Structure 1
């Protein structure tokens, strides 16, 4: 029996917090010291004692700032997220907000609500409608920062609507490059993307090289009255510079998903309450992906969409013994592991080793089960974080 600690209600439509989809051999637990896995959505677990038995944390959603990644890596705990599970939901909202706010639609709606008791509202609406004259988006330049799961979908949708779409992503994957419309113009710098842009929309994670990336220098390159859209992470914009640009009129509006103490006081802002992925379909997709990835790791040692270990997949275990080693990415680690196995005359039938930054992962299929003494020798190797034994496929 494997035990799962569910930290949040990861999807309204999945009974028993997603556990019903795991099948036999799994049981929910409230005791984190008993848990083999954690399912999480928004709970912040920095500082939480994760317990000695936790092997994997599956995050329903793309963000992972609420999880201590480095600590988990050193303890041999794989952290997975679900990129792309909510991409369509975010895409629809971003595209809709661009179109709606280009026309001053929300301001017009607010005017009608504020004047609902006016007996001459029909006449006054005609007189006041010029205050809400907007602009059409077709043919205008839009710059998309980040062409991953969400950004590529936004780019394709805006291309089909007739906008002049530019994209910037120095880390564009082959998978997303194939999905991207050939009409999207890729540029090599953020400066080139922002220059004369009527719209700039952000779709990158918050990292050292993206935090505060949209500042005065980038805003000054945009068209006067440009719209800035941020449905990625609050930290990506320099809030002081954005506020000043909105006040001066250099930026026409900020559309974002982050109600911070500063954004809520900015001029010409349209802020949603972190609802970019809040659809029943997105919650279902992310929850299903999280559960499947967690299950694949526990049962087969397969890592997919990890944010602190490399992806690795050797399928189901066809041999009497499979070892999964989570370890530091240092020289001669494989040599030490295989030397111990050789002394016990274990024949390696298949092996895969992958590395990501300071962490590495090794899967080894053997022609016989590993005995307890060899497991202890493996665990004693400096730099080994965790050794797991994967049972053969039934």
Structure 2
């Protein structure tokens, strides 16, 4: 009788949530993954259930990957945040479980900048009020309260990738730019650095927030900050929903102290398209509310889909951690015709020697080796001539410093 062939190994699985661009699915499918997609976000219990057997997870800003999720997803190797922020992921726990996290820190910068500029112009011209009156059948041709943005002072709070690019484009429109950042940032063009947040608020006609999602920014902008803004000024938040006191913003808009506002992010957001949206900012004159679409242009989502999916692919196939936000960064070089061992470990003296001692004991010849460290973690990739035996894998896993060991297969 002919020998029975072993059944082929099942394809590795990936799960992409929150309407991630189709290019991400295509890239991963072509690299050998079975890709499942879902249009909305998942809560903690749903995510735990769906991650059974999943190696790669793709999310945007609404799905939260908690310590409980990570503890219950032993197959998970990497998470792609198809957005800028990663505060929706427990990065410390992900690193402790040997799960790499990647994001897209630059891909949607231009989209957010263009939305901010469009809203600044619309609010300064009070186009929202004019538009509503026209739809109500009222012809109100008047220049009262409408201004050019040329010559007005823009205050940028947070001068990172988005804030600095907004600075350049706003200056090209004739605005004077002032900015404040806790980090030491280089001023671009004629932008002027302010020594404190209060200094920005007291000088700016328009204040726009572009801060990151660290927990210390919660409640960052509230009653005192709005009170310090110039009478008749404009306020924008396209950063994080939890940084602004929306009750205080409503009071200052209703009093007329703030002439207009645009908000793209909210403390609680619906998990999927079509769900009901509630906010105390609804119904206010000259207030623009958008459903977290700062980076939601087709161009940005296509770039993000390709960029993050490529990072997930390169990590899964070759062990590359370039631009990982939680693991030691290692731009791996391939040694053709070899098999790769990837070893994530606690960063203490002697681990590399212990790894190489095990390989020597088992008669494994090293063809190439690279090491990187970040904080409490070390990461070493070792290229060997042939697949390692089960004993090699077992001994590496048994090292007390080991977080995770992977054998990545043959390299081209």
Range class of TM-score, shorter chain: 0.7 to 0.9
- Superposition deviation, residue 96 in structure 1: 0.6
- Superposition deviation, residue 338 in structure 1: 4.4
Q: CA separation of 1:114/1:99 partners in 2, compared to 1, >3 Å: closer, same or farther?
A: same
Q: Which residue of 147, 165, 171 corresponds with 2:159?
A: 147
Match of 2:274 in 1: none
Q: Which residue of 315, 320, 331 corresponds with 1:297?
A: 315
Residue range with higher mean Cα deviation, 339-348 or 268-277 = 339-348
- Superposition deviation, residue 229 in structure 1: 0.7
Match of 2:13 in 1: 3
Alpha-carbon distance in structure 2 between the residues aligned to 1:382 and 1:192: 52
| Structure 1 segments unaligned to the other structure (5+ residues) | none
Report if aligned partners of 2:129, 2:285 keep a CA contact under 8 Å in 1. Answer: no
Superposed CA offset, 1:263-319 (max 9, x none) = 336665321122212221121111111211111101111123323223321233447
Q: CA separation of 1:167/1:7 partners in 2, compared to 1, >3 Å: closer, same or farther?
A: same
Report if aligned partners of 1:231, 1:276 keep a CA contact under 8 Å in 2. Answer: yes
Match of 1:161 in 2: 173
Report if aligned partners of 1:308, 1:359 keep a CA contact under 8 Å in 2. Answer: no
Superposed CA offset, 1:19-60 (max 9, x none) = 356524232258733322122234344454653222111121
Q: Which residue of 127, 137, 140 corresponds with 1:115?
A: 137
Query: Secondary structure, in 3 states, of the residue corresponding to 2:189?
Result: coil
Report if aligned partners of 2:102, 2:325 keep a CA contact under 8 Å in 1. Answer: yes
Is the aligned partner of 1:258 residue 2:265? yes
The count of aligned residue pairs is 375
Match of 2:275 in 1: none
Report if aligned partners of 1:216, 1:242 keep a CA contact under 8 Å in 2. Answer: yes
- Structure 2 length normalisation: TM-score? 0.80
Alpha-carbon distance in structure 2 between the residues aligned to 1:266 and 1:338: 66
Match of 1:286 in 2: 304
Q: CA separation of 1:341/1:196 partners in 2, compared to 1, >3 Å: closer, same or farther?
A: same
Q: Which residue of 13, 30, 54 corresponds with 1:35?
A: 54
Q: CA separation of 1:330/1:182 partners in 2, compared to 1, >3 Å: closer, same or farther?
A: farther
Query: Secondary structure, in 3 states, of the residue corresponding to 2:30?
Result: coil
Q: Which residue of 91, 95, 100 corresponds with 2:113?
A: 91
- Superposition deviation, residue 240 in structure 1: 3.6
Alpha-carbon distance in structure 1 between the residues aligned to 2:331 and 2:149: 44
Match of 1:324 in 2: 342
Match of 1:209 in 2: 216
Alpha-carbon distance in structure 2 between the residues aligned to 1:348 and 1:194: 59
Superposed CA offset, 1:106-147 (max 9, x none) = 11111111125xxxx4xxx34xx25x4222222222121223
Residue range with higher mean Cα deviation, 195-204 or 366-375 = 366-375
Q: Which residue of 281, 291, 294 corresponds with 1:273?
A: 291
Match of 1:354 in 2: 373
Residues 165-176 of structure 1 mapped to structure 2, 5 A cutoff: 165-171=177-183
Alpha-carbon distance in structure 2 between the residues aligned to 1:351 and 1:372: 22
Alpha-carbon distance in structure 2 between the residues aligned to 1:336 and 1:161: 60
Alpha-carbon distance in structure 2 between the residues aligned to 1:364 and 1:167: 46
Report if aligned partners of 2:64, 2:89 keep a CA contact under 8 Å in 1. Answer: yes
Give the CA RMSD over aligned residues: 2.9
Report if aligned partners of 2:341, 2:406 keep a CA contact under 8 Å in 1. Answer: yes
Residue range with higher mean Cα deviation, 32-41 or 200-209 = 32-41
Match of 2:242 in 1: 235
Alpha-carbon distance in structure 1 between the residues aligned to 2:119 and 2:145: 16
Match of 1:372 in 2: 390
Query: Secondary structure, in 3 states, of the residue corresponding to 1:263?
Result: coil
Alpha-carbon distance in structure 1 between the residues aligned to 2:409 and 2:370: 16
Match of 2:403 in 1: 385
Superposed CA offset, 1:141-166 (max 9, x none) = 21212233322221111011111112
| Structure 2 segments unaligned to the other structure (5+ residues) | 1-10, 38-49, 267-277
Alpha-carbon distance in structure 2 between the residues aligned to 1:147 and 1:184: 11
Report if aligned partners of 2:344, 2:378 keep a CA contact under 8 Å in 1. Answer: yes
Q: CA separation of 1:182/1:340 partners in 2, compared to 1, >3 Å: closer, same or farther?
A: farther
Alpha-carbon distance in structure 1 between the residues aligned to 2:368 and 2:176: 53
Residue range with higher mean Cα deviation, 149-158 or 316-325 = 316-325
